[in-house]
Structure 1
């Protein structure tokens, strides 16, 4: 329920160990390129790493003793490399390999998130365009406030997703950098050519070269998880709206129907908003991991005594939860059923009270804003306490009829579809920006 097969494959144990080996192989190739180790040794290490069948039982046993997996893995890789084994992990420290492997995972995971965000943006753009002019009640403090359109609501959802797409693009160069710096981060183990060796190592892996060691500067990984917190926060907002709109008393939308999905074990009529519920739960869990990653930034001196380990939990779980939330959001929004007639019926529930502001603003030029407010307020109180349509009550007030010019004008002002403000223009602006961004990405 809380993950996808693709994202789980990125963070699986065997995939992580494969990333460790990938980093060790790249290091050997880079060191051969700059003459730090013999080319023949690098070729042997690269070949051994490519064909290594890891003894995971041994790796587990030794890792439990050492506390980290790299030294036990280096033992196996060195043995497989034969005479060249003495050049494995040359000048590196455990955290160099683990950090770099995590960045390789992060790159693959961000690719999946970016793809799913693009699908989500397409789904939301479709809803915004299709329902651009479909009026519904806008609500503040859970009360009907003013008319909006469903397309306007979808375009607001879309605008947040587009900002997340921009944030993801911007963080890549800050976060996708390699790590090869040695025990205290000074590259003392490899000497004068260390920075060139580091550059070649990062180049081998397609990663950026850091300006300085980031063993204890964890803002990059914290930023990545913070972005996931923002993404899932936006998804949870959408899910909350959908769940409320699915309530029987609202009945304005429904999640896609799949036989048995969201069913109750005892109430045959139930169709629960299960996708939205899963999104909300995932978002709540990711937020806790954001706090964990921020706490984990507080490292002591040049190598931490525990905060680093927090990332081993928070990073993969955050991406799994985010993948789940995105998958559920795309399923739900890709097949969302919109009940336009129910939206209109709910809009008319108050007998025109939802557009009281429209009447007030139309009468204000003749009556003055405050007096117009007081007159319409009195009419609203009468409608609330004694029932009746607001338009009929206003038609019985001579100064309102005079201010608006006719009974027909009162009826026009009291039609919610005529008081949508600039919702349509705003939707068009968002959709125009979305189309331009899609063309640019292509």
Structure 2
């Protein structure tokens, strides 16, 4: 690594080696060569003059890429595909005449991208499943721990810690559905030709349309695809890029939301992300335990979300059969969207697997707001004991306002329960039972059980979890 020039931090600091390699030069250009092998094999099988010796020579050199020679050719030719055709031909002299036969540049560039995107989406799906699994385990452990709920970031009806984790997990489950849909919908461009008309292949097969179609399907199958895009210009539809990056941005939004919740809960001292023994929270304030992993999730997710508009704009400006202004943009945007989300999910799994809960703080925070939350239960209990509902409602209103004044203007504890217990109108009500937090969380615990059974378990079945060996780069 050079210390003199800029290095992409997605590679050097954040993303995994596995995802980085998918978008590396070796994997990309080896995939190009596998496509040239697939084309040669298919053309031979369809009766074109391509020999077994030529195909075997091509196969033997798939991973033996002379990048220096390719760079030298590109300086001369100003064309990256032809540069690699020549570099491949140098190692395959017998096969040189048939490399790229009938194909356009997008035969290798676009088909290789689709194959790499498939691998990258599969890796994203596995990472999503791993985070969902971790959140599921956390939700089960804290399925019935009451905690203060919030709407508008203001105290609301109690929920449980486990049920809140299910909200985070369900966002990711929906994201996983979208990733799986994108994988199912992904097709090959295959041998569509220069502008999508397959004219060059029609010429190779002397006007035999059926053979051209057979070649297209055969090459797609060799690429591992069961279908091809119905119609293309010079490239596969750039709409596909927009759809893929949209799905990645959706993961970013889900992760950002959850990480923001965790940052707020850390501020309230209810929950904390993992904090290592020697970790430093601040260079100046030694006592601090900053939620730096959640903050990094938010920062990386925000970057991935910002890329969403770029692929849509590229799709919108592909005039007629194609313009080349997509090339430089796609080289930047799509790999970095995958790399950023890869990093987000690695961090998210680490955080979800090591969340620290402080039940006593959670109980204290809930207790401070609980009297107001329980007023309806207290009202029902007093009515059941023979009280007048309208009179009791007015008394609760007056006592609640007085208690709120004590809290807000005098910073005193919430004394609403004591006020109600001293009011003779509530003498027959079991106020203690009415303010029991476990009776105020509705079906939260049961909903956790149902969510784990109906949503999380099927995901665990599809994606069996292995012990993570991914190094956390923070």
Instruction: Note if contact 2:30-2:63 (Cα within 8 Å) is conserved in structure 1.
Output: no
The alignment partner of 2:149 has SS state of strand
Match of 2:177 among 166, 172, 178: 166
- RMSD of the alignment, in Å? 2.4
Moved more, 12-21 or 122-131: 12-21
Partner of 1:240: 260
Moved more, 364-373 or 119-128: 364-373
Distance in 2 of aligned mates of 1:381 and 1:16:
68
Distance in 1 of aligned mates of 2:291 and 2:51:
60
- Alpha carbons of structure 1 residues 82 and 359: separation in structure 2 relative to 1, 3 Å: same
The alignment partner of 1:189 has SS state of helix
Pairing of 1:148-297 with structure 2 (within 5 A): 148-191=159-202, 192=209, 193-214=211-232, 215=235, 217-247=237-267, 250-261=268-279, 263-297=281-315
Distance in 2 of aligned mates of 1:68 and 1:246:
53
Distance in 2 of aligned mates of 1:268 and 1:72:
56
Partner of 1:420: 441
Instruction: Note if contact 2:187-2:229 (Cα within 8 Å) is conserved in structure 1.
Output: no
TM-score (norm 2): 0.85
The Cα of 1:84 is off from its aligned counterpart by 2.5
- Alpha carbons of structure 1 residues 290 and 360: separation in structure 2 relative to 1, 3 Å: farther
Distance in 1 of aligned mates of 2:391 and 2:58:
84
Distance in 1 of aligned mates of 2:435 and 2:124:
45
Distance in 1 of aligned mates of 2:224 and 2:230:
18
The Cα of 1:166 is off from its aligned counterpart by 1.9
- Alpha carbons of structure 1 residues 374 and 109: separation in structure 2 relative to 1, 3 Å: farther
The Cα of 1:14 is off from its aligned counterpart by 2.2
Q: Which runs of 5+ in 2 are unaligned?
A: 1-12, 203-208, 407-411, 465-474
Aligned residues: 434
CA deviations on 1:351-377 (whole Å, 9 max, x unpaired) are: 622333443565688889887655433
Partner of 1:3: 15
Q: Which runs of 5+ in 1 are unaligned?
A: none
Pairing of 1:6-405 with structure 2 (within 5 A): 6-40=18-52, 42-47=54-59, 49-50=61-62, 52-54=64-66, 56-63=67-74, 68-191=79-202, 192=209, 193-214=211-232, 215=235, 217-247=237-267, 250-261=268-279, 263-298=281-316, 299-350=318-369, 352-360=371-379, 374-386=394-406, 387=412, 388-399=414-425, 401=426, 405=428
Instruction: Note if contact 2:73-2:86 (Cα within 8 Å) is conserved in structure 1.
Output: no
The Cα of 1:15 is off from its aligned counterpart by 1.9
CA deviations on 1:68-109 (whole Å, 9 max, x unpaired) are: 421110111123221321111111111121111111211221
The Cα of 1:43 is off from its aligned counterpart by 1.5
